[in-house]
Structure 1
Amino acid sequence: MVPFAGYSMPVQYPAGLMAEHLHTRKAAGLFDVSHMGQLRLVGTDAAAALETLLPVDVMDLPAGKQRYGLLLNDDGGIIDDLMFFNRDYAGGGDLFVIVNGACKAADIAHIQQKIGSRCDVIPMPEMALLALQGPQAVTALQRLAPGVEKLVFMSGGRFDVAGCDCFLTRSGYTGEDGFEISVPAAQADTLARALLAQPEVKPIGLGARNSLRLEAGLCLYGNDICAGTTPVEAGLNWAIQKVRRTGGARAGGFPGAAKILAQLADPSTLTKKRVGLVALERVPVREHTALHSLEGAAIGEVTSGLLGPSINQPVAMGYVSPGFAAIGTRLNAMVRGKPVPMEVSAMPFVATRYYRG
C-alpha cells in the first residue's frame, strides 16, 4: 500500500505485478480506482457549456454513449484527460464525468469557475469506482448483472449488480474489454467481494494498471501528457472530431484553439511528438531518461517505460524532435550514462481488444 492523491492505494497483491498483469490479459482483474474524481454536469446547457472547455464534440454525443475528452488551458496545454458520458435520456441535460484522481480538486474548481453559471456542477465524493478488466470480465459480470453483455465499447447504463445500485460503462484503461463501475461507497465492499467470488476475477494493483495501460499505448496524465503539452504534440488528434476542427459554428471555440488548429493544419510547426519506443536490448528504460540521436545529440525524453510483461520486452513512450518520430527510427536512451539502443514503434504495443459488437 502506498499514498497516492490523498488515498492509500494497493501497488500489488501477493501474486505480484507480473502475475496480476498476465491474469488481466487472459481472464479478469478487479481494480479499485475510487481515487478518481466523479461529477455530474446537469442542465439543458450542460453539453454546450462543457464543449467550450474541450476540443471534442460534446453536443452530438448520443444518450447512452461515452467519449474521451481533454481539458485545456488557454495555451492549448492539457490540464487533464477525462471521460464523459451522456446520461441525458429525458432531454434535461445530464453528463457524467470522470477525471484523474491527482487532478480532481483542481479540475472541479476549474469547471465550476468556467461553466458553473451555465449548469450545475455536482461532485460525487459519495461514489466509489471499480474497474473490471480483461477478456473474461463480461463472463463474470453478466452472472451478477444479466444484460451487460449487450453493451458495446463506450456505452453504458444503470444496472443492479449483486444487489448494488451501479452505473457502469464498457470501457477501461488496460486495452482489454471490460467495465468501469460507479457504485455508492457504502456498497463498494459488497460489490468487490461479489466480483472477486467469480472464478475468473482476481484483485489487481496500481503497478499492473500502469504496465497494462503502457502496453496499450494509453497516456498517463502527469507523465505522457501535461499542461505543457498540446493534444497534437501528444498524438491525440483522433480525439478532436471534425466538427471542432474545420468550418461551421462549432469549429474552434475551445481554449488554445488557434494554436491547436494551426498545429493540425501544419504539423511542421511542431517541436516535439509523442512516440512509442521498443528497446533493442533487455534493459528497462524508465521515465525521465534522456533520448539521444545516434550521433549523440539530445532529442527528447522518455515519459513512461518498463518491461512489458505481455511481450517480455522493454517498451516506453516519450517525446522526440519531429525529425526522429518516424516508425523504425533508431536512437539511444541514456541509462546510467550508457546508450541503450531503441527503435520508434507503432502503438499499441499489445493489440487492444475492445468489444465493438
Structure 2
Amino acid sequence: MAEELRRTGLYDLHVAQGARMVPFAGWEMPVQYPMGVMAEHLHTRDKAGLFDVSHMGQVLVHPLDGDLDSAGAALETVIAAAVLGLPEGRQRYGLFTNDRGGILDDLMFANRGDHYLLVVNAACAEQDIAFLQGLSGVEVTPVTDRGLIALQGPKAAEVLARLLPAAAEMRFMDSRSLDWNGVDLWLSRSGYTGEDGFEISVPNDCLATFAQALLDHDEVAPIGLGARDSLRLEAGMPLYGHDMTGDVTPSAAGLGWAISKARRADGARKGGFPGAATVLAELADGVSHTRRGLRPEGRAPIREGVQIFAEAEGGVPIGDVSSGSFGPSVGGPIAMARIPVDLADGATVFAELRGKRMPVTVTALPFITPSYKR
C-alpha cells in the first residue's frame, strides 16, 4: 500500500494558485505554479518569493532545571556546533553527526530566552526528534500546531514590514517573536536562497490567512520546490541526502566552518559530539576531497551521479556530482561535486555524459553573491 502523503496547512491555497503537487519526504508539496520554475526563480531573485516549508520539523528544547545552559550543554553532545553562548534572539547553523563523523542532518537552532527552537529537515525529522529525546535533562517537544513559510528576495523585508514593521530591524540570523493581529509569529531573518529574507512560524489556524496577506502584495509570488532547489544550488547551499549524507563528513561536505572554534579548541567543550575524533582530525589535517562548484560548457546540465574525471580520456573517476541543474540567474548549467581539494578554481575537469566527456570548469562557491542583511 502506498504511503499516505501528509498535507500542510497551505494545501488548499497551493491548489487554488494552480500548483502542481508532488510527493516529497512524505508530504504532498507544490513543485511549481503556472509561472514555471525558471520564472519563479528569477522572480525571487528580483522581488519576493513565498515558499511553504511547513514540512520541515520544528522542535522545542526546554531545560528541566530551568537553566538554559544545561539544555545548551545537552545539545552540544549531539550537535557539532557551539550552542552554549549563543545570545538570546540569535540563530545558528549546526550539524548532527554519527559515530563515523558523517552528517545525519543539518539544522538551525535559535536561543529563545528560556528554550531553544530547532528546525530540521523533513526527511530526517522523525530520526532527529528520536535522537533528541534520548538526551537527559531536557524536555523535547515537536511542534505540531504551526506551519512554516519563507519569504525570500530583495523585496522581502519591504513587504513584510508592511505587516510587521519591527521585522525591518532584524539582522541576518536574528530570531524574534512578533505579534500580527494578536497572533504570535516566530521569525528568523534567514533562508535557503542566498537572498535576504525571513522564515516565519505561524499557528496552523491562521497560516493560510497570513500567507494570503503576503501574496496580496504585487511583489510576492508563490514559489515551488523546483525553484527552491535551483535557488539554493546557485547560492552554493548543500542539500541533505545529496551533498551531505551519513557517509560524508563536514570537511568533505565543505561545512567545516560550522564546527565552531569552541568545539575544536582544547578545553572542556572540545569535541564531545558523535564522531568528533574523525571530524576534528579532518579539520586539523585536511581531506583529499571536498564539495566544489562546477560550470559545464554549453547549456546541458550535469545531474547528480555524473562521474568527474581529470582527463578527457582514460583514468578513473576523481569524484561525482552531488547536485546539478540549470542556474537561471547564472545563465547556464551549474553543479556541485566532491572532488580533489588541490584542484585550483579555474581548472578544467571532465564530466562523462552518455559515454562522452565534456569539459567542466572548477568554480568557487557560491555561484551568486548572497545579499544577506548583516
TM-score (norm 2): 0.91
The answer to whether the aligner puts 1:36 opposite 2:53 as a matched pair is no
Q: In the alignment, which residue of structure 2 is the partner of 1:130?
A: 149
Runs of 4 or more off by more than 3 Å in structure 1?
161-164
Which string of whole-angstrom CA distances, capped at 9 and with x for unpartnered residues, describes residues 100-146 of structure 1? 00110011011112x1x220000002110000000000110000011
> Alpha-carbon deviation of 1:162?
5.3
The answer to whether the aligner puts 1:107 opposite 2:128 as a matched pair is yes
Which string of whole-angstrom CA distances, capped at 9 and with x for unpartnered residues, describes residues 228-287 of structure 1? 0110111112111111111121111111111111111111xx242111111122221111
Q: Equivalents in 2 of 1:218, 1:111: separation in Å?
A: 25
Seen in structure 2, the aligned counterparts of structure 1 residues 284 and 162 have a Cα distance that, compared at 3 Å, is farther
Which string of whole-angstrom CA distances, capped at 9 and with x for unpartnered residues, describes residues 144-181 of structure 1? 01110000000021112355321010000000000000
The answer to whether the aligner puts 1:14 opposite 2:39 as a matched pair is no
The answer to whether the aligner puts 1:94 opposite 2:118 as a matched pair is no
> Which sections of structure 1, spanning at least 5 residues, go unmatched?
none
User: Is contact 1:162–1:194 with CA below 8 Å preserved after alignment?
Assistant: no
> Alpha-carbon deviation of 1:227?
0.4
Q: Equivalents in 2 of 1:27, 1:169: separation in Å?
A: 19
Q: Equivalents in 1 of 2:275, 2:101: separation in Å?
A: 4
Describe the SS at the equivalent of 2:318. strand
Q: In the alignment, which residue of structure 1 is the partner of 2:213?
A: 194
Amino acid at match of 1:229: V
Describe the SS at the equivalent of 1:11. strand
Q: Equivalents in 1 of 2:279, 2:52: separation in Å?
A: 35
> Alpha-carbon deviation of 1:14?
0.2
Q: In the alignment, which residue of structure 1 is the partner of 2:227?
A: 208
Q: In the alignment, which residue of structure 2 is the partner of 1:245?
A: 264
Describe the SS at the equivalent of 1:19. helix
Describe the SS at the equivalent of 1:305. strand
The answer to whether the aligner puts 1:233 opposite 2:252 as a matched pair is yes
Amino acid at match of 1:341: P
The answer to whether the aligner puts 1:76 opposite 2:94 as a matched pair is no
Q: In the alignment, which residue of structure 2 is the partner of 1:346?
A: 364
Amino acid at match of 1:36: M
Amino acid at match of 1:280: E
Amino acid at match of 1:62: P
Q: Of residues 17, 22, 27 in structure 1, which corresponds to 2:47?
A: 27
> Which sections of structure 2, spanning at least 5 residues, go unmatched?
1-20
Describe the SS at the equivalent of 2:117. strand
User: Pairwise mapping of residues 46-195 of structure 1 onto structure 2 (< 5 A)?
Assistant: 46-88=71-113, 93-113=114-134, 115=135, 117-161=136-180, 164-195=183-214
Describe the SS at the equivalent of 1:75. coil
Q: Of residues 276, 285, 304 in structure 1, which corresponds to 2:293?
A: 276
Q: Equivalents in 1 of 2:246, 2:132: separation in Å?
A: 16
User: Pairwise mapping of residues 306-321 of structure 1 onto structure 2 (< 5 A)?
Assistant: 306-321=325-340
> Alpha-carbon deviation of 1:296?
3.1
Q: Equivalents in 2 of 1:214, 1:317: separation in Å?
A: 8
User: Is contact 2:112–2:175 with CA below 8 Å preserved after alignment?
Assistant: no
Kindly report the root-mean-square deviation, in angstroms, between the aligned alpha carbons of the 2 structures: 1.1
Q: How many residues align?
A: 347
Amino acid at match of 2:89: G
Q: In the alignment, which residue of structure 2 is the partner of 1:328?
A: 346
> Alpha-carbon deviation of 1:326?
2.5
Amino acid at match of 2:96: L
Amino acid at match of 1:250: R
Q: Equivalents in 1 of 2:122, 2:204: separation in Å?
A: 16
